[in-house]
Amino acid sequence: MKVVDGIEMKKLDRKAMEEYGIPGVILMEHAGMAVTEEILKDLAHQENKEIVIVCGTGNNGGDGVVAARHLHQKGFPVKVRIIGDIARISEDAKINCDILKKLRVDIKTIIDFKDVPKLSEELSRCGVIVDAIFGTGLNKEVQGLTREVILAVNRTNTYVLSIDIPSGVRASDGHICGIAVKADKTVVLQLPKIGNIQFPGADYAGEMVVKDIGIPHEAIEKSNFPINLITADMVQAILPQRRKDTHKGNYGKAYIVAGSTGMTGAAMLTCEAVLRSGAGLLKVAIPQSLNNIMEVRLTEAITVPLPELKKGVVGISDIEKIIKTMQESDVIAVGPGSGQTRELEEVLRNIFEAATIPIVLDADALNALAHRQEILKLIKSAAVLTPHTGEMSRLTNIPVEEINRNRIQIALEFAKKWNVILILKGARTIVASPDGKVFVNTTGNPGMATAGSGDVLTGIVTGLLAQGIQPIKAAIAAVYLHGVAGDRAAARLGEYGLIAGDIVLELPYAIKEIVGK
């Protein structure tokens, strides 16, 4: 599903109106009806059926006014409160306000700070507050009277439903413009906005429901706005059903170069995740001295011990053996728990020059690359890099705070510059492709911020690549499944006690949930 910013949404609205001749009031009517439908669902669970709709003077307010009409028609007690000068109300909103007045719906303006205490009382007493103050048109910090009203909304214990986006959240990036409504539910119109899914804004949305308001789908499909939301349907289409007449040779050979003294756990988690993602066969290159531990813990993998010169880490003396096994494999992953050595840079350079299969780079491989990014240019096959924000900061020399402010753009630029698929991990992991597309993941939870969680993700990507899934699709499916497995683990254990091994254990069920088998 496409994700847009306010400008792209306006373009699509305009296209619907100008190219297809769908009048704005019709779109507004659909929006108001979609909101009504959701309010009716919420009211079904509660005694207090009174609704207060707080509107701004733009089209978001207009959507609220339409909802008021439909709720009134169904016999619910509705109050509409418009903040500011009613004379400045948008054209389509005005048409709807005029109808409301003829229907004698209780509609008043809030023009003074003196009006706020009375409004606060109404907001506390009603069953549902509808937030129709600002939508995609929010273009400056929220101050004065509107700020007071949003504070009043947030002070109540009343259920709050926001139309399109919680008022105060900027649609283009999720920035909070001074203050924002804390919603229990957001009825997103037609397409999710970046501000609905990127933090901090995403934290204000509550449950999200996306509703079609009649913007022609072919206009949306033609839009070349590059951001997409990863959905269950999308992942289902990526993961093939297994044919009955197959054997392990049909599901690929994965090769993992990972682990060092004290870090065998990282290698282990990656390997387990590869196997749990359905790869046919797994070989793991591990420093000789760590081989015994791996053999005991990892029954299903074949270990390929490396005759390390430096004890406990993979070094350049191991390169021939690594390349030989790589040539017999369908995907190679390097980095989890490899240890920070300058020699790893040389190992990577040799792998990059020789590889004709997809390469996954994580953790210490990324730290090694931070010194010599330019060797990425040697890669002839597909590469998937999986940095968290700290690793991304080292890779790009961009401070963490700046990355957090601009995750989508920074991920996209890196993917394009180095011709790689970039998985930028974090709350709302982003997958960026070298051809300029971005996919945002919304599965997962804060319990997954735990050691080893990233190693599991590397294993899933590798396992899917082994099975011949196209690299960008493998990355998309991997981040989604990783999150679903984490959510399942959190549902069972809570977020505090969740550890990376629990994500691996839930992974088969997460896949089954999507594939059905």
Ligand X SMILES: NC(=O)C1=CN([C@@H]2O[C@H](COP(=O)(O)OP(=O)(O)OC[C@H]3O[C@@H](n4cnc5c(N)ncnc54)[C@H](O)[C@@H]3O)[C@@H](O)[C@H]2O)[C@@H](O)CC1
Residues tagged in the binding site annotation: 59-63, 131, 135-141, 164, 167, 266, 337, 388, 425-429, 454-455
Looking at residues 143 to 162 of the shown chain, list those that interact with ligand X (rule: CB under 6 A).
Answer: 146
Closest C-alpha to 318, from 329, 308, 328: 308
Does 134 bind ligand X (CB under 6 A)? Our answer is yes
Instruction: Tally DSSP H helices, then E strands, for the chain.
Output: 20, 17
Comparing CB distances to K ion, the nearer of 161 and 326 is 161
Smallest distance, Å, CB 340 to K ion?
Answer: 48
Span near ligand X by CB under 6 A; candidates 21-29, 148-156, 232-240, 408-416: 21-29
- DSSP assigned state of 164: S
Residue from 3, 31, 230, 368 binding ligand X (CB under 6 A): 31
Please enumerate in sequence order all residues whose Cβ is within 8 A of that of 467, keeping only pairs 6 or more positions apart, or say none: 240, 251, 252, 277, 278, 279, 280
Smallest distance, Å, CB 85 to ligand X?
Answer: 10
Query: 15 vs 8, 27, 108, CA distance in Å?
Result: 10, 12, 33
Name the amino acid, one letter, at 375.
I
Query: 204 vs 24, 181, 244, CA distance in Å?
Result: 28, 7, 47
Does 189 bind ligand X (CB under 6 A)? Our answer is yes
Does 163 bind ligand X (CB under 6 A)? Our answer is yes
Interface with K ion (CB under 5 A) = 131, 162-163, 167
Does 164 bind ligand X (CB under 6 A)? Our answer is yes
Comparing CB distances to ligand X, the nearer of 56 and 201 is 56
User: What are the percentages of helix, strand and coil residues in the chain, rounded to 5?
Assistant: 50, 15, 35
Query: 213 vs 31, 33, 134, 164, 191, CA distance in Å?
Result: 5, 9, 18, 11, 9
Comparing CB distances to ligand X, the nearer of 189 and 385 is 189
Tokens for 61? 């307010």
- Mask: binding to ligand X, 66-105, rule CB under 6 A, as x and -? ------------------------x---------------
- DSSP assigned state of 439: E
Q: Which does 162 bind (CB under 5 to 8 A by kind): ligand X, K ion, none?
A: K ion
Looking at residues 478 to 517 of the shown chain, list those that interact with ligand X (rule: CB under 6 A).
Answer: none
Comparing CB distances to K ion, the nearer of 162 and 264 is 162
Comparing CB distances to ligand X, the nearer of 60 and 393 is 60
How far does the chain reach from its first CA to its final CA, in angstroms? 25
Residue from 62, 127, 166, 483 binding ligand X (CB under 6 A): 62
Does 173 bind ligand X (CB under 6 A)? Our answer is no
- Mask: binding to ligand X, 192-221, rule CB under 6 A, as x and -? ---------------------x--------
Does 57 bind ligand X (CB under 6 A)? Our answer is yes
Comparing CB distances to K ion, the nearer of 205 and 460 is 205
SS (H, E, C) 7-19: HHHHHHHHHHHHC
> Taking the CA of residue 459 as centre, how many other CA atoms within 13 Å lie in the half-sphere pointing to its CB?
34
| Pairwise CA distance, residues 318 & 309, whole Å | 8
Chain contacts with ligand X (rule: CB under 6 A): 13, 24, 27-28, 31, 56-63, 90, 134-142, 146, 163-164, 177, 189, 213
